[in-house]
């Protein structure tokens, strides 16, 4: 039953899904690393990015690439705005306080969308060429799949270079390592956090656009589950570490696809339970995730 083509097909599917999880997880992990905040509103920024993309794709004749980049920019700034309004006043507050606030922000965004654009799922269609199917040695993938993987890798590489080599990037890593020490070293924490929110939200918007394109639908609640799963991915990989988020994202994508693809159909329904069971297992073996450094969070 598991012919080489079948396996190859599942691997392609896993890479695809994993790329999107990785993109989302990066934003979550950067923010968590700096502020110890599980940003539940991250998935909603993804959703807003998808809606904005839909608006541009369907209402204008602009080149496809712009319909992706404009939402990325706009949502990036929106991320800064959310941080400024909702999270900055809470700087230094207990983690729980920020978590509640992020849940509140999420609820506000989702319900505002239901009230304004209604909850009707809308179709997100790209020009026909993007969905063209290519078959190589019995394994099929669309142009969009290739685009998803290529774009994700490019964005992640750019981000890694940025964090490795620029002053702000280095400051960001220092702050994630030890916020207080970084501040004492003269690093402008507000700026660093702002940049993290900008970059993370940008990637979320890109993921939202790709997600909407792949699954062809947008609706106000579409961001919740990807956001949650991406956080799981970040935890698996080692939260606070960007390569960890990437690794976790791909691992989760593969795990999900393989779970559904290689076990009898009766187990397909257990997909999400499996994802979280995997999370628990990894946490028990490596509480700080695969690439995570040991921190004071363990008891």
Partner 1 sequence: MRRTWAFLSLLLAVSLVLAGCPAPVMTPAAAPAATEAPAQETAPAGEPIKIGALYGVTGGMSSIDGPGLNGFKLAAKQINEAGGINGRMVEVIAIDGKSDQTATTSATTELIEVHKVVAIGGLNDSTFALAAGPIAQAAGIPFVTAGATLPTLPEQIGDYFFMAPFGDDAQAYAIADYAFNELGARSAYMLVDQAYDFTTALARFFKERWEANGGTIVLEDTYNSGDTDFSAQIARVKALDPQPDVLFISAIPNEAGITTKQFREAGLTQPIISGDGFDTPLIAEVAGELADDVYYSTHASLDNEAEIVQSFVAAYEAEYGRRPENAFAALGYDTMNLIADAIRRAGSTEPAAIRDALAATQGFQGVTGVISYPEGQRKPIKSVTIIRVQDGVYSFVTEIQP
Partner 2 sequence: MSRAMEGVRRVNINGATRNLLVGCAYVALLATLLWLAQSTLNNYYLRILAVIGINIILTVSLNLTNGFAGDFSLGIAAFMSIGAYTAALLSLPVAMKTASFPGLPAWLQTTSIPFLPATIVGGAMAAAAAVVVGVPVLRLRGHYLAVATLGLMVIVRVIANNWQDVTRGARGINGIPPLSNIWWAFGWAALTIYVVWMVVHSPYGRAMIAIREDWLAAQARGVNVLRTRLLAFVLSAFFAGVAGSLYAHLITAITPSSFSFVITFNIVVMLVVGGMGSITGSVIGAVLLTLLPEGLRQVETALAAGGTPLYGLSQIVIALLAALVMIFRRQGLLGGREIRLPGMTER
Binding residues for partner 1, per CB under 8 A? 1, 3, 6, 9-10, 13, 16-17, 111, 114, 118-125, 128, 131, 133, 140, 142, 211, 214-217, 219, 221, 225, 256-257, 260-261, 265-266, 268-269, 271-272
Residue 90 partner contact from partner 2, partner 1, none using kind-dependent CB cut-offs of 5 to 8 Å: partner 2
Residue 216 partner contact from partner 1, partner 2, none using kind-dependent CB cut-offs of 5 to 8 Å: partner 1
DSSP letter, residue 207: H
Residue 243 partner contact from partner 2, partner 1, none using kind-dependent CB cut-offs of 5 to 8 Å: none
Determine contact, residues 195/33, Cβ cutoff 8 Å.
no
Q: Tokens 């040991």, residue? A: 294
Angstrom distance (rounded) from CA 181 to CA 196: 18
Structure token pair of residue 91: 């700087």
State in angstroms the smallest separation of the CB of 231 from partner 2: 7
Q: Decide whether 156 or 228 has the Cβ nearer to partner 1.
A: 228
Residue 94 partner contact from partner 1, partner 2, none using kind-dependent CB cut-offs of 5 to 8 Å: partner 2
Residue 9 partner contact from partner 2, partner 1, none using kind-dependent CB cut-offs of 5 to 8 Å: partner 1
Q: Decide whether 115 or 181 has the Cβ nearer to partner 2.
A: 115
State in angstroms the smallest separation of the CB of 9 from partner 1: 5
- Count Cα neighbours of 143 within 13 Å in the Cβ-side half-sphere: 7
Q: Decide whether 124 or 197 has the Cβ nearer to partner 1.
A: 124
Going through 167-289 in order, the beta strands assigned E by DSSP cover 217-218
Q: Decide whether 142 or 160 has the Cβ nearer to partner 1.
A: 142
Residue 211 partner contact from partner 1, partner 2, none using kind-dependent CB cut-offs of 5 to 8 Å: partner 1
Determine contact, residues 19/250, Cβ cutoff 8 Å.
yes
Q: Decide whether 104 or 158 has the Cβ nearer to partner 2.
A: 104
Query: Any idea what the Cα angle at residue 17 is, between residues 13 and 19, rounded to 5°?
Result: 115
Structure token pair of residue 232: 């799981």
Determine contact, residues 55/257, Cβ cutoff 8 Å.
no
Residues paired with residue 141 on neighbouring β-strands, in sequence order: 134
State in angstroms the smallest separation of the CB of 220 from partner 2: 10
**Residues contacting residue 243 through CB under 8 Å, at least 6 positions apart:** 160, 237, 291
Q: Decide whether 21 or 231 has the Cβ nearer to partner 2.
A: 231
Structure token pair of residue 199: 């970059």
Angstrom distance (rounded) from CA 38 to CA 100: 9
State in angstroms the smallest separation of the CB of 1 from partner 1: 6
């Amino acid at each position: 039953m598991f012919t080489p083509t079948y396996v190859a097909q599942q691997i392609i599917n896993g890479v695809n899904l994993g790329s999107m999880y990785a993109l989302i997880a990066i934003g979550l992990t950067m923010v968590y690393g700096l502020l110890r905040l599980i940003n539940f509103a991250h998935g909603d920024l993804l959703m807003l990015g998808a809606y904005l993309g839909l608006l541009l794709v369907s209402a204008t004749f602009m080149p496809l690439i712009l319909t992706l980049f404009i939402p990325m920019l706009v949502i990036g700034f929106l991320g800064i705005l959310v941080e400024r309004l909702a999270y900055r006043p809470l700087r230094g507050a207990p983690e729980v306080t920020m978590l509640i606030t992020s849940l509140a922000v999420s609820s506000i965004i989702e319900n505002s969308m239901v009230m304004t654009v209604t909850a009707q799922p809308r179709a997100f269609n790209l020009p026909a060429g993007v969905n063209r199917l290519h078959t190589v040695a019995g394994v099929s993938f669309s142009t969009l799949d290739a685009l998803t993987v290529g774009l994700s890798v490019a964005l992640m590489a750019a981000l890694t270079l940025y964090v490795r080599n620029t002053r702000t990037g280095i400051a960001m890593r220092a702050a994630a390592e030890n916020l207080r020490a970084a501040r004492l070293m003269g690093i402008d924490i507000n700026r660093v956090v702002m940049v993290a929110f900008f970059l993370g939200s940008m990637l979320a918007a890109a993921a939202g656009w790709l997600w909407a394109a792949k699954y062809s639908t947008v609706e106000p609640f579409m961001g919740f589950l990807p956001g949650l799963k991406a956080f799981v991915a970040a935890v698996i990989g080692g939260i606070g570490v960007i390569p960890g988020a990437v690794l976790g994202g791909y691992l989760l994508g593969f795990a999900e696809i393989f779970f559904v693809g290689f076990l009898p159909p009766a187990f397909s329904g257990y997909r999400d339970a499996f994802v979280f069971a995997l999370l628990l297992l990894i946490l028990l073996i490596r509480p700080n995730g695969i690439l995570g450094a040991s921190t004071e969070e363990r008891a």
